[in-house]
Amino acid sequence: PVLVDAFVREKSNGSVVMVGRFTGTDDPAAKPMVKQVQALTDGNDRPCARSFLTRVDTARTGQMGAFDLRRARLANPNARTLYSIEVAVWSDFGSGEITVEEIRRKAEAYTAQLRAQGLPAFFNHDDDRRMSIVTIGIFGEDAYDSKTMLYSDDVMAIKKRFPKLMVNGEDLLKPIRKGSQETVPETTLMVEIPK
């Protein structure tokens, strides 16, 4: 009976089962519900022991901007798989030093800058992860050939123009090998457009 009002919510990386609706973390009913769900048992197992309080709708689906990456999915409803090239990321990486609004604003400003250059740029916000990405282009399943392991010419043109992944406005550097002090820039990558 604790889970009688459970519902499924789609997220960018899968689906989650949720129960309860609260006004915030300070809602007096929230913490008791979490404890009640965590205590549920199935024989000797506690399948919900790792349950936690989370926001239900942080994607702000009702406030989709003009260059929101989700629009690419809406414009291509019959496409099984769509890709774009991730060229920039903004995040606080758990530091709490940058607000979600600032992360969003910077990603949207960079998208507008790329659009002003005539590039088909998009942003995608993930408030749960306190992260926004900027991508360029929309590509179908022919963007990458798994047999030859080669990208299409259109994808390669963008990757050549934007070879380095920017994080918070700077190139992301990674060690050339584990334990090395020598670094190289992280390259841009092809990402699937969320459904």
Mean pLDDT of 62-81: 84
167 vs 64, higher pLDDT:
167
Exposure b/e, 129-155, CB count within 10 A at least 16 = b:
bbbbbbbbbbbeeebeeeeeeebeeeb
Q: Is the per-residue pLDDT at 23 higher than 80?
A: no
Q: Is-contact 132 90, C-beta < 8 A?
A: yes
Q: Is the per-residue pLDDT at 61 higher than 50?
A: no
**The pLDDT value given to residue 78:** 86
- Look over the chain and give the mean of its residue pLDDT values, rounded to a whole number: 87
CA distance 137 to 150: 17
CA distance 68 to 164: 22
CA distance 168 to 184: 17
Highest mean pLDDT (candidates 23-27, 92-96, 98-102): 98-102
Q: What percent of the chain has pLDDT over 70?
A: 92
* Region at 60 (left for phi over 0; alpha for psi -120 to 50; beta for the rest): left
**The pLDDT value given to residue 63:** 67
**The pLDDT value given to residue 13:** 61
Name which of 176, 138, 129, 185 is nearest 158 in CA terms: 138
